[in-house]
Amino acid sequence: MGMEVAAEEEPKKKCRALIFTYGTLKRGFSNHNLIQDLVLTGDAVFRGAYTTSESFPLVCGPYRVPFLLNIPGSGHPVTGELYAVSAYGLSRMDELEGTSRGHYQRLGPVRVTRAAVAAEADDDSDDEAEAEAYFADRSYEMELWKKSGKLGFRWYGEKEAKGYVKRKDRPQNLSFLEHIRIFLSSSSTDQ
């Protein structure tokens, strides 16, 4: 019996970092398979639906990719999902989000509160928490905010994701940063 208790506690011991997800890592979206894999190995635990306590812009860039912008006080409180993740889980998420390539930055603390619809959490999660989130890189975040008409979303849902193009289906001859620069320089305001 002692081993069973230790095995049950192990994921909680190694999943210390809290990550607020707001886009394609959420359940029902294209990159959630990474989170599912991490949950299966004990490297991530779903904590529930949460909303940022402070307003942040949530906008779409090229291919309807969602970006949270580190411009506190602008936009709206954003609703997403909170996960506790291990160091290994963080490294996998950082890789997906391109933190070493200037795509996103993992920043915190971001104060979040349990969303009213969040009765489905896997554990006894707190009603409030401080987490990290993946924000658009500083090198282009203000241009994305201007391109969006300084309007953001409250969440990234089916409507906001309409037209999303998976990485494998995008032109492979350009880097993601090149796609962002082309998007920002285009005259289209279609977000």
Using alpha carbons, select from 20, 15, 16, 55 the residue that is nearest to residue 134.
20
Using alpha carbons, select from 24, 152, 36 the residue that is nearest to residue 96.
24
Using alpha carbons, select from 102, 105, 97, 18 the residue that is nearest to residue 70.
105
User: Which are the catalytic amino acids?
Assistant: 97
Cα 170 to its chain centre, rounded Å, is: 20
Cβ density class 19-45: b for 16+ within 10 Å, e for less: bbbbbbbbeebbbbebbeebbeebbbb
Looking at the chain, the number of H-run helices and the number of E-run strands are 6, 7
Give the position of tokens 């490294």.
91
Give the position of tokens 């002692």.
2
- Using DSSP's 3-state secondary structure scheme, residue 69 falls into coil
| Interstrand relation of 17-21 and 128-136 (parallel, antiparallel or unpaired) | parallel
